[in-house]
Amino acid sequence: MSAKSKAKKAELMPSKRSAAMQASPIRRLVPLADQAKARGTKVYHLNIGQPDIVTPREIMDAVRNFRDEVLAYGPSLGLPELRQEIKHYFEKLDIMLSVDDVMVTTAGSEAIVFALMAVGDPGDEVLVPEPFYTNYNGFASMADIRLVAVPTDVEDGFSLPSKAEFAKRITKKTKAILFCSPNNPTGAVFSRSDLEMLAGLAKEKNLWLLADEVYREFIYDGGYHTSILHIKEAEDRAIMLDSVSKRFSACGARVGCLVSRNPRIMQAALKLGQARLCPPTIEQVGAIAGYKNIHKYLKKMVNEYQHRRDIVCDELAKIDGAVFTKPKGAFYIMPQLPIDDANEFAQWMLTDFSHQGATTMVAPGDGFYADPSKGKQEIRIAYVLKEADLKKAMQLLALGVKAYNGRR
Ligand SMILES: Cc1ncc(COP(=O)(O)O)c(C=O)c1O
């Protein structure tokens, strides 16, 4: 075969990077859910962290009242008024910042990608307690960073691994520890002493600390949240990633921020930010209104989620063989169920199961692990539905587990 016809035959392929990226475990079963709906089955969605709480009126009004005649580019660091409001919001949490420490990003997702790209070069490693928010896999692929998992365990409420567990995974390529508290998918909340341990280790090994705190306010049973920005020892190495998505039930706004007191990191992040020009302008105007009125709705929202968490735990307790600990925060739980393959189970719930015309969609656990052979008996539940729907969804889940195990 001539070189010319060989070249003709060669298929044009997308990159290895995109091929290696996993399909989102939260979204990959959506076609099956759509087919179930087309058959007339009602599907309760516990698979995705899309809150059903109404977005605050002040945010919507600010967006509706946006009157500029040109929807222009804004500053790469975000609108100055929003950066001021964010600074002010942190002051009320006893976190003193300068406006220069705050960069507005296109949601928390971009803040995490920027942080990874700012601390690591291709091939570098970042430690992360596992299971972890599934999109960290995708973000790490984009930044060409290798995530190194540090396992946590359902049996002890997914508490933070010991210093030794982190230390033994540190290599010359390790640049940072990435962690999320309150945690998605486990609902674990790391204590001040946990963060102090991480800060001590990071100092010893000269690592950055990337703290994903997008669920900061979602803390239950009168507990409180410690931010990495509260930890003195981490001051020069902490990079905090945040978002308005969950706090204001405004996931579509795509506004978040990256906060660090380290000017080098802020410079690096600014360069990345300049390459994407600016975060969305109108949504930032909405976010300003959100932060100005935050005192009006947080408490009510958090109480509602605590109530939902209790419903989920009560219903899970009725499933023989389910293993879980009551989550302390966020709006997720990752129970181990008496099933052999959560992936197959989650699919089966959509393709084969329905009770009185309804079924429940959950996210299989394997997608929340770096090694997809793990989490085979776990599912992630997002308790984002109203009481009656949530109860129904959980009861369907229990019936589904029974029917699934009885089918052979
Ligand atoms: C732990 C965690 N971090 C970051 C994000 C990204 O949030 P967003 O990009 O909507 O701000 C999410 C979204 O679900 C999340 O759960």
Q: Taking residues 1-12, what's their average pLDDT?
A: 67
**What integer is the mean pLDDT of 160-181?**
98
Classify domain 57-295 at the CATH class level.
alpha beta
Closest atom of ligand 1 to CA, residue 112 = 4
pLDDT digits (tens, 9 = 90+) for 23-67: 777 778 999 999 999 999 999 999 988 888 899 999 999 999 999
pLDDT at 6: 57
Name 105's Cβ contacts closer than 8 Å, sequence gap at least 6: 78, 111, 114, 255, 256, 257, 258, 273, 279
Is 7 a residue whose pLDDT tops 60?
no
How many Å lie between the centroid of ligand 1 and the Cα of residue 153?
A: 22
76 lines ligand 1 (CB under 6 A): no
What confidence score (pLDDT) does residue 371 get?
82
User: From the alpha carbon of 109, which atom of ligand 1 is closest?
Assistant: 9
Count CA within 13 A, CB hemisphere, residue 396. Answer: 28
* Per-residue pLDDT tens over the stretch 317-364: 999 999 999 999 999 999 999 999 999 999 999 999 999 999 999 999
Give residue 50's pLDDT.
Answer: 84
User: What pLDDT score does 264 carry?
Assistant: 98
Please tell me the predicted confidence (pLDDT) of residue 26: 74
Whether 285 has a pLDDT exceeding 90, the answer reads yes
The model's pTM is 0.95
What's residue 22's pLDDT?
77
DSSP 120-136: --TT-EEEEEES--THH
Q: Is the CB of 243 under 6 A from ligand 1?
A: yes
- Residue 5 has a pLDDT of 58
Domain ranges of the chain: 18-53+298-406, 57-295
CB distance 109 to ligand 1 below 6 Å:
yes
Q: What is the pLDDT of residue 3?
A: 58
Ligand 1 atom index nearest CA of 133: 1
pLDDT of 408: 64
Strands (DSSP E) found in 161-203: 174-180
CA distance 231 to 199: 8
Using the predicted structure, report yes or no on whether residue 101 has a pLDDT greater than 80: yes
Residue 257 has pLDDT above 70, yes or no: yes
The ligand 1 atom nearest the CA atom of 215: 1
What are residue 278's phi and psi, to 5 degrees? -160, 160
State the average pLDDT over residues 289-310: 95
Task: Indicate the DSSP class of residue 42.
Answer: E
* Residues 6 or more apart in contact with residue 393 via CB below 8 angstroms: 44, 46, 360, 385
User: How confident is the model over 131-153, as pLDDT tens digits?
Assistant: 999 999 999 999 999 999 999 99
Q: What is the CATH number of domain 18-53+298-406?
A: 3.90.1150.10
pLDDT at 2 over 80: no
356 in helix, strand or coil? Answer: coil
List of E strands, 233-357: 238-243, 256-260, 332-333
Residues 173-187: what's their mean pLDDT? 98
The packing angle between helices 342-351 and 30-38, to 10°, is: 20
State what percent of residues in the chain have pLDDT above 90: 88
Q: Is the pLDDT of residue 370 over 60?
A: yes
User: What contacts 402, CB < 8 A, 6 or more positions away?
Assistant: none
Contact 148, 174 (CB under 8 A): yes
Q: What's the average model confidence in pLDDT over 232-257?
A: 96
User: How high is the pLDDT of residue 343?
Assistant: 93
Query: Ligand 1 center to residue 89 CA distance, Å?
Result: 19
